[in-house]
A = this chain, B = another copy of it.
Amino acid sequence: MALEHAILVSLAERSATGYDLARRFDASIGRFWKASHQQIYKVLARMEADGWTSAEHIAQGARPDKKVYALTEAGRGELIAWLARATPPEQVRSEFAVKIRALHLLDRVTVLDAVRARRADHQARLDGYDLSMSKFFPDPSALAEEEIGPYLALRGGIRLERNGIDWCNEIIETLENR
């Protein structure tokens, strides 16, 4: 896919400026797709040229002018078409896992420290997700139609971090018991 489809998803939720999108990519959507503002502005310009979005220029006295992007019918069509297309299984790319493979080249203490640091890292993100969960979905048994997706995506994030923690624990235990 590409960034443009993630932007389509975000704009379908709410129209936004490039700046807004960049912040969303730092928070919710960004759990599964990171993007810098530089990238976003470039792609946004291309999407406008392709007719997927339309921009409304808004002058603000004190603050800088802004361009609010909204989905066009064509953009919405492309979004639906993309959603319906089969998703190729994405490949994992984990520097940590590559290092784990070669762990016997390092002394045990260094490895254990690194694994504990990574576990703390997973835990910190998990704490953030738990907070989002209680803030945005306090009652998961009563979700509005458009909330199911974001809820399940957040659940996916939580599972990912928990899984990361479990793996770290397994590594630590395996190394300590020998």
Contact B146 A94 (CB under 8 A): no
Neighbouring B residues of A80 by C-beta, 8 Å: 105-106
Q: A29-B98, A91-B34, A148-B103 are in contact. Are A86 and B117 (CB under 8 A)?
A: yes
Contact B100 A149 (CB under 8 A): yes
Q: Nearest Cβ distance between residue A21 and chain B, in whole angstroms?
A: 13
Contact B90 A93 (CB under 8 A): yes
Contact B149 A101 (CB under 8 A): yes
Q: How many angstroms from the CA of A104 to the CA of B170 in the assembled complex?
A: 37
Q: A97-B32, A152-B171, A159-B163 are in contact. Are A145 and B89 (CB under 8 A)?
A: no
Q: How many angstroms from the CA of A100 to the CA of B6 in the assembled complex?
A: 11
Q: Nearest Cβ distance between residue A2 and chain B, in whole angstroms?
A: 9
Q: Is A49 an interface residue (CB 8 A)?
A: no
Contact A1 B163 (CB under 8 A): no
Q: A89-B118, A93-B33, A94-B32 are in contact. Are A83 and B99 (CB under 8 A)?
A: yes
Contact A159 B167 (CB under 8 A): yes
Contact B90 A95 (CB under 8 A): yes
Q: Which of B29, B82, B84, B102 has a CB less than 8 Å from the CB of A12? A: B102
Contact B83 A106 (CB under 8 A): yes
0/1 interface trace, chain A 99-143, chain B, CB 8 Å (1 if under): 111111110001000100110010001000000000000000000
Q: How many angstroms from the CA of A166 to the CA of B89 in the assembled complex?
A: 16
Q: Interface residues, chain A, CB within 8 Å of chain B?
A: 1, 5-6, 9, 12, 29-34, 79-80, 82-84, 86-106, 110, 114, 117-118, 121, 125, 145-146, 148-153, 155-157, 159-160, 163, 166-167, 170-171, 174-175
